[in-house]
Chains A and B, each alone.
Chain A
């Protein structure tokens, strides 16, 4: 069972991540009154990119992108998808928070060696933005940990299927709203699209990638979207639970499959909401992003944490 999960969850994440990228292009096109590419376009692109010529800038340029992708796959092994969680006893949320660093760091190292000023500007922006949204994100995660009194994300999901989703419970409501406010920053979409700003700094960190590097970078981008949303769904929307109506098929294969489907549907809903925000907002400058995140989401998250501490 465990071996199947270890193989299956990265595959689901990979396909889902690429599906997100395709969906994003399609929905954005429709909002712009265009027809848009087919949803499977990113998959075609990646297959094509693997056969194309690429330029390499050196050893770390290659290793960084491999490390980053491996790090992202590693996070997915720790994240419950429905009731699937291959490394559920690995160390919990604390490990997830730390393994999540490998993705951006790998890209940063790889891009750093490319010696392109646009890359460096993009990386600098990425780290500043990450430092910013990490402030509310940590407050939110600590509120959830304190509320459920555990650092195991599987346990947090299980508790929600028993006592209702965190987003619906009063002490965690503010934290949930704060997470929604910083979600665009985590996903790197507008209004926080400062890192990969195509018109300003030629897509930032990925400017030097071509061929297989660009393919890996695209996959990494898709996984990043997957992780950001999956964390939200697990922490606040009860993971693969749908108001406990699967209780009749506990411990069957059917439960796993239904759990995964419900989980993915929740993710798509959250992502589409994010896309709508992406479609209507212009891009912040990095200073504006910092100011915004350090005022409203941080305030909400802080009050949320205080409420949770008082309730317990």
Chain B
């Protein structure tokens, strides 16, 4: 198997899907699934390989280089995995929409270009794939049409272009200075460069990666884009596309510069990594508290994506083997549970006719038990409850922060978890618990092709939480490639000299406790099932349909924290775009498009010239 083949399948499949769609929609759907499946199989076969291979297509005398290593493999498998599930999920979810050929083509194309970014070995192709990814994402965010989707897409592409331009500046500067853009060659050359130049390069690239990662203060595009995109694509967006920014940071911080150079980057007592840690901490708190105030199911998840990015960067920027393992594992875990949660939100939309407003849902647990199970497992992972995958990675990150002597950062990370509990519970409560409104009493569970991704990802959340040794072995080899020591892991836990974690023991104890209590529960007197209106209201009757306490669920807290949570960056963005719009409108008054006006301008200008000539004889 060669890397060219992998990329050809990815890109070729995308185009072929589009043309097959012109013949028959069944053929197109089948082919899209097969193509995504083939990508998963082929990518999986590259596990553990280390390839670097020039291809004879050159640009500016720079050959295109493809490479595969553990870091690329790690990101590639998440891309193709979520890609496959998303395509399967789309089959039913999207079937009644228009422009389906376009939808499948763009989804597969985005997957292919994301694969390109992680598989290329030089910065020119990296930039080209990156741009392909950004533009096709823009097309898909605005796929549904309508003002809000167009606004979200526009916001995304503007932010994305700012990032790309910063990156382009960095690439040009690197080429001018070193005459090469191959990643391995650059890694050797840059060790001799001056520290201030390295800092400049790093900042230029970091801007691009921070924007795509949606760290504070460049988070403003994400909540809009994720909420407005179609749900299967929100999954891709949130689980893997956003994390291409993490790949970029891995590439620059650890593959090109390396830990030695990074440790030297300290100016006036502020280290580069330290700044990243604080950006992470602010991102966590800001996103967790803002998510509390949202009333839109997908917006809550979008804000949680912003917040979880903070945990990753905290682990990764701390740059110890424990922190890297935590950060890298958190990327994988987040990919699993946020993908799952967007599928859940999509399933609710699918069955309720597109309702995302948390205030008008409720009681769906009785109608959609599989989706509910997915939601509760996903939210547990997001919170990081013990026995879910999120717990293990967060445990690693907290331990890094505490052992690294930084309790304040640990405090922010911990507090973010409590914020997560609040909005996570709100998500479950407002959608699935409480009173079922009369209008939803005939709702059914989603079809199997939509249940399948939810079930599979739920199983993964629990499996990786109980047996963290499985993924951590792979993550160890990712970190080993970046030059970090491996963590000592067993199948059911982590062993280290400063404290061990045994998830299998916790699992056994919890199952045993549940069993004993369940036994007592069974042998004691049976209870009678009652309907949802049979509840105690201090003598008053509970009115139907109107007594679901979900609106303003955290109202007392909301009133207190809202004034302090002004999103200055978003306000700046909106004001700035308003300003540009006004300037353009003013210009449009002159540049009207009527020939008559232009003739008038020309005549006036000529008259001015004649006047000047007659008066001062300049010409």
Contact = CB atoms under 8 A, between A and B. Distances in A.
28 contacts: A54-B525, A55-B529, A55-B534, A56-B528, A56-B530, A58-B365, A58-B366, A59-B369, A62-B527, A70-B510, A74-B513, A90-B505, A99-B506, A102-B385, A112-B433, A112-B434, A113-B365, A115-B433, A117-B542, A118-B536, A127-B421, A131-B557, A146-B402, A151-B499, A211-B527, A216-B521, A286-B556, A290-B556
A184 B306 CA distance: 34
A105 B524 CA distance: 24
A90 B528 CA distance: 40
A263 interface: no
Interface in A188-219: 202, 207-208, 211-213, 215-216
Interface stretch (A26-34, A134-142, A163-171, A254-262): A134-142
B506 A95 contact: yes
A268 interface: no
A217 B106 CA distance: 52
A116 B537 contact: yes
B448 interface: no
B385 A69 contact: no
Contacts of A101: 383, 385, 421
Contact of B395 (A95, A150, A211, A309): A95
Given A115-B433, A212-B524, A98 B415 contact: no
Contacts of B391: 98
Contacts of B547: 117
Counting contact residues on chain B (CB < 8 A from A), the size range is 35 or more
B429 A112 contact: yes
A102 B513 CA distance: 13
B525 A115 contact: no
Contacts of B366: 58
Contact of A53 (B385, B414, B422, B525): B525
A121 interface: yes
Contacts of B517: 66, 69-70, 73, 216
Contacts of A59: 365, 369
Given A90-B500, A290-B560, 4 more contacts: A52-B525, A57-B529, A69-B517, A124-B549
Contact of A74 (B369, B509, B527): B509
B415 A71 contact: no
B461 to A, nearest CB: 15
B535 A115 contact: yes
B525 A70 contact: no
Contacts of B556: 125, 128, 286-287, 290
A114 interface: yes
Contacts of B435: 115
B538 interface: yes
Contacts of B395: 91, 94-95, 98
Nearest to A116: B535
Interface string B485-508: 000000000000011111001100
A125 B542 CA distance: 21
A299 interface: no
Contacts of A50: 520, 524-525
Interface in B512-532: 513-514, 517-518, 520-521, 524-525, 527-530, 532
Interface of B: 363, 365-366, 369, 376, 383-386, 391, 395, 398-399, 402, 405, 407-408, 410-411, 414-415, 418-419, 421-422, 425, 428-429, 433-436, 498-502, 505-506, 509-510, 513-514, 517-518, 520-521, 524-525, 527-530, 532-538, 542, 547-550, 553-557, 559-560
A128 B553 CA distance: 10
A10 B384 CA distance: 25
A123 B429 CA distance: 10
Contact of B418 (A91, A115, A134): A134
A70 B407 contact: no
A109 B376 contact: yes
B363 A142 contact: no
Contacts of B436: 115
Nearest to A89: B500
Given A108-B425, A112-B429, A207 B506 contact: no
Contact of A152 (B363, B365, B499): B499
A113 B531 CA distance: 11
Given A116-B542, A216-B517, A131 B419 contact: yes
B528 A91 contact: no
A43 interface: no
Contacts of B532: 57, 115
B415 A134 contact: yes
A87 interface: yes
Nearest to B292: A131
Contact of A95 (B386, B422, B542): B386
Contact of A71 (B384, B510, B524, B548): B510
A139 B521 contact: no
Contacts of B399: 94, 151
A161 interface: no
Contact of B530 (A55, A211, A213, A290): A55
